[in-house]
Amino acid sequence: MKHKLVPLLLCLTILSLGFGGCAALRKKPKEAPEVRLGRVLLERAIEYEQRGQPQKALQFYEAALAVVVAKKKGLEESLLKDAERHYQRGLEYQEQGKYSKARREFLVALRLRPDFPEVVELLKPTLPPPIGGYVVHEVKEGEYLSAIAEKYYGDHSKFEIIARVNDLEDATKLYAGMKLIIPETTGVGFSDLEEKQSSKPPVEEKSTHETYEEVGLAGSEKSGEDPSLLSEQEVDYDPVEIYQEQGVTLLEEGQYLAALHEFQKVLNTDPSRKKIQEYMAWAHYRQGEVFFNQADYLKARDHFYEALSYDEEWPACREYIKRAEDAYKEVHYLKGIEHFEEERLKEAIAEWRLVSKVDPNYKQVQNYLLRAQKLFEKVQELKEAP
């Protein structure tokens, strides 16, 4: 009978530490079958090795390794599928002329699969053949880029040349009065147009030199290389750019902690990046809101402080910090009173100590603590008395 009481007493002990104890145990995530199998096999291998049975140990080590290899293969296949999915989505965006979104998808695909040849090829800054001249076209109401390409090149599919030269993020978002540079390139000309200009535009217009500098041509001119030899610019891929793009994607998807992780990789390389600091501030702020709504007030407060470290003039952060601390103190203050009334002195003391740690002068917390501690000591004395 005595042995049967042991589990009951153990459970009661856990309950005395808080009602969430048993519930927390029940919520422990199940171990995946392959993980459990690998762990058991490894334990058996170590056991045989310690017994001085190397042959048996080797067999179990090999079996455990087979499980790990199978798990690794499954993860690799999953990553490849995800990379392919982002690649296909990027192609869809590219066909729609949404180049910024397409590039983001390609960067995610490349991060998942760094040796993705099609993506690497797509992300190389391809340059049009060398220009002979250009015109400046003013967009009319309701005019599409494909129609502009048809007008100047006689081929609506060449709208990508215009989009690339003008660094358009989304070819569908043109507006009336917008000015676009339409370059004349090898194999693509418009010599019959009267508005053809020299390659040096007026001061108020954007020059072809400035435009092509954005995609790498101007750099080759400065270095003395022949631009006519550069039909394609070969570049090494910058992983920092991938981190930034991935961070922005995660931020937009509401995965703020993951976004912070990516942005931090960028800052580890270049702490001076102002845009990344702005992203960090915003991600910390939004994660603070998440924790606040989950009633995890101290974590929320910490994220609002982090946001302020990147942008010290943010009144909403300061307001949230005050609200988070006030809510935290009040919640634990009231929990302490509840425990005290139920004669659960240990739990009441623990709650009020949390309040006192944040604000020792909060309401009557010091008086309550003193009373609860004296009562607790008296109860202990009575329990220990013969």
Ranges of each domain in the chain:
31-123, 131-229, 240-381
How would DSSP label each residue in 234-291?
Answer: -----HHHHHHHHHHHHHHTT-HHHHHHHHHHHHHH-TT-HHHHHHHHHHHHHHHHHH
Checking if the pLDDT of 187 tops 80, the result is no
Instruction: Quote the pTM value.
Output: 0.45
**What are the tokens at 143?**
């005019």
Length of the chain: 386
pLDDT at residue 55, rounded to an integer: 87
Q: Hey, do 131-229 and 240-381 end up sharing a CATH topology, with the first three levels equal?
A: no
148 within 8 A of 180, measured Cβ to Cβ: yes
pLDDT at residue 174, rounded to an integer: 78
Secondary structure in 3-state letters for 310-333: HCCCCHHHHHHHHHHHHHHHHHHH
DSSP state of 68: H
Query: CA nearest 283: which of 322, 245, 314, 254?
Result: 254
| pLDDT tens digits for range 368-377 | 899 888 888 8
Which whole number is the average pLDDT over 57-80? Answer: 82
pLDDT band per the 50, 70, 90 thresholds, residue 23 = very low
Checking if the pLDDT of 9 tops 80, the result is no
Query: CA nearest 208: which of 152, 135, 144?
Result: 135
Segment holding 341, helix H or strand E: helix 315-341
**What are the tokens at 126?**
């391809």
| pLDDT tens digits for range 243-276 | 888 888 888 888 899 889 888 888 888 888 888 8
pLDDT at residue 29, rounded to an integer: 56
Which whole number is the average pLDDT over 46-74? Answer: 83
Checking if the pLDDT of 230 tops 50, the result is no
Highest mean pLDDT among 66-75, 177-186, 303-312: 303-312
pLDDT at residue 178, rounded to an integer: 83
CATH topology of domain 240-381: 1.25.40
Give the number of C-alpha atoms closer than 13 A to the C-alpha of residue 374, restricted to the C-beta side: 6
Share of the chain above pLDDT 90, in %: 18
Q: Could you confirm whether domain 131-229 is CATH 3.10.350.10?
A: yes
pLDDT at residue 272, rounded to an integer: 84
Give the number of C-alpha atoms closer than 13 A to the C-alpha of residue 165, restricted to the C-beta side: 27
Task: Give the CATH class of 31-123.
Answer: mainly alpha
